[in-house]
Structure 1
Amino acid sequence: MREYLVFRLYAPLASWGEAAVGETRPTATHPGRSAIIGLLGAALGIRRDDDAGQQALNDSVRIAVKQRSPGTLLRDYHTAQVPSTQTKVTYRTRRDELNAPRKAINTILSSRDYRGDGLWTVAVWATEAATISLEALQAALERPRFTLYLGRKACPLAAPLAPRRMPAETLRAALDSDFAPIDPGEQRLLRLSDDVIYYWEGGAAGLDGEASGVESNDVWDQPLNRRRWQFGPRVEYRRFARDANPKEAR
């Protein structure tokens, strides 16, 4: 039996960044390893330029996610005016940029994707090389050092994380932990169904000892260097399933 730290993620808007090139900023349907490590790091007060702290956290935990609802896709269309790069000219403030000669100002178009009203359960467990305990992580999530948000600063939490440590026979049992409803009408408001998706790392049979029905995918969300925004690949496993806690039985 292993000990897990489980908590819940909900916000009206969340953005789980994927590889972004050019004017499009897409979002995944669920938080990946980079997003969870970033959230835990913010709770602990580890700054992005603290390479040793970031590495210690990254080496200390493994993560898994149960997607109760991916939410709905929302696309925000942006226009922004920025001046062209000029030799020997430095823009120190936004006001400096907008005061540049009119002929030097260009309009940049972009779109940013969000997930609206998504709901996820996260499970974290310690590695053999862990130097940061689950107890410390739970305490940090209860009293975070930095403001927590789901992917972007425009996406603050809208429900308690409700972190708790618990022993469980399997990872799936930990992810199936129940939480108090966010709202009495949670099932209807968040369009929850009995169909869920589990995402995890560490082997095809890592969810519950069974490898049947498991899919895998290479994802680039393994943090390598936060200051330079460098990420490496990892294998993410997933399984589509019926919720072990059907809504009708609640």
Structure 2
Amino acid sequence: MEHLVFRLYGAMASWGEVAVGGIRHSACYPSKSAIAGLLGAALGIKRSEETQQLELARGYCQAIKIVNSGVLQRDFHTIQAPDSAGKFRYRTRRDELVVGCSRLGTILSQREYLADAQVLVALKATESAHWSLKDLAGALARPKFHLYLGRKAFPLSVPTAAHLIEAENFRHALDLYPLTDVLQYQLTWARQERWRPDDLPRQYYWEGDIEDFSQEDEQFSLGAVQQLSRLDEPLSRKRWQFQPRMEYHWRS
């Protein structure tokens, strides 16, 4: 079965979780909506084109392999914004600061991000897929819009280097990706310690069935698999709404 596998690495990345209060947490791997948004940017699909955005999210099953979990960082932010003034709408940021200067209030927040994190993403097309995996690979190689890792301030540090890989399941596809090519851009400390790629700890997240990931063998056992629920399935891009999605987690 054909899989599309590509890497995501940048100096900084942030994969948003459910936001409560003034703290914006980051997950250790990209969400379903993040991958769909990245593919949409590569294809040139705008956020306002909701139908096509939903097709990207629902037309493919994804799996993630964490190559390097990175270092969790947290920034303290202060944001000034005016409160609402009846039916009046501020059209620009300048209007907020100039027209609404007498109504400005300060919002305090803390935002998490990952430094030097890297993951591999594997996609498998479903029957409802609108674009072929070859089309997605070509779009990632020559994206229409700028690609970034969760926030516009966090661009990719290296190309996605998408590969079409024939494999029995997600695990084989992710493990067949040329990892040595990935590691040449980071993990200098690993080379200094003379680590091999096989020595690195591995974590996998995938959706679908357990059989979609791997057959039970000496290394992989069903007893070590966790089933998780994540609120990252796009329901409406315009209203910024999401619904729960089930996925599995296995650590080698």
Instruction: Check if 1:200 corresponds to 2:206.
Output: yes
- Stretch of structure 1 that moved more, 195-204 or 182-191: 182-191
Q: Deviations over 1:16-37 (max 9, x none)?
A: 0111122111110101211111
Tell me what 1:221 maps to: 232
Equivalent-residue separation in structure 1 for 2:169 and 2:93 (angstroms) = 52
Deviation at 1:184, TM superposition (A): 6.5
Equivalent-residue separation in structure 1 for 2:186 and 2:79 (angstroms) = 39
Tell me what 2:187 maps to: 186
Contact 1:83 1:100 in 2 (8 A): no
SS of equivalent residue, structure 1 residue 160: coil
Letter in 2 for 1:19: V
Matches within 5 A, 1:106-185: 106-176=105-175, 177-179=177-179, 180-181=181-182, 183=184
Contact 2:33 2:57 in 1 (8 A): no
Equivalent-residue separation in structure 2 for 1:17 and 1:185 (angstroms) = 23
RMSD: 2.1
Which runs of structure 1 show a deviation greater than 3 angstroms over 4 or more consecutive aligned residues? 100-103, 181-185, 189-193
Q: Deviations over 1:76-124 (max 9, x none)?
A: 1111222222225433332332235765221111111101100101100
Instruction: Check if 1:236 corresponds to 2:247.
Output: yes
Equivalent-residue separation in structure 1 for 2:10 and 2:186 (angstroms) = 16
Structure number with the higher helix fraction is 2
Equivalent-residue separation in structure 1 for 2:130 and 2:182 (angstroms) = 34
Equivalent-residue separation in structure 2 for 1:108 and 1:55 (angstroms) = 32
Letter in 1 for 2:148: Y
Equivalent-residue separation in structure 2 for 1:169 and 1:38 (angstroms) = 27
SS of equivalent residue, structure 1 residue 97: helix
SS of equivalent residue, structure 1 residue 212: helix
Q: Deviations over 1:196-217 (max 9, x none)?
A: 1000000233311233311011
Aligned in 2, Cα 1:150/1:101: closer, same or farther, shift over 3 Å?
closer
Equivalent-residue separation in structure 1 for 2:107 and 2:229 (angstroms) = 32
Tell me what 2:18 maps to: 19
Unpaired runs of at least 5, structure 1: 242-250
Letter in 2 for 1:234: R
- Stretch of structure 1 that moved more, 144-153 or 93-102: 93-102
- Stretch of structure 1 that moved more, 154-163 or 201-210: 201-210
Letter in 2 for 1:178: P
TM-score, normalised relative to structure 2 = 0.88
- Stretch of structure 1 that moved more, 26-35 or 172-181: 172-181
Letter in 2 for 1:171: F
- Stretch of structure 1 that moved more, 181-190 or 219-228: 181-190
TM-score, normalised relative to structure 1 = 0.89
Deviation at 1:71, TM superposition (A): 0.7
Contact 1:82 1:97 in 2 (8 A): yes
Tell me what 1:65 maps to: 64
Equivalent-residue separation in structure 2 for 1:217 and 1:162 (angstroms) = 29
- Aligned positions, number: 240
Contact 2:231 2:244 in 1 (8 A): yes
Contact 2:140 2:162 in 1 (8 A): yes
Unpaired runs of at least 5, structure 2: 217-221
Equivalent-residue separation in structure 2 for 1:182 and 1:7 (angstroms) = 13
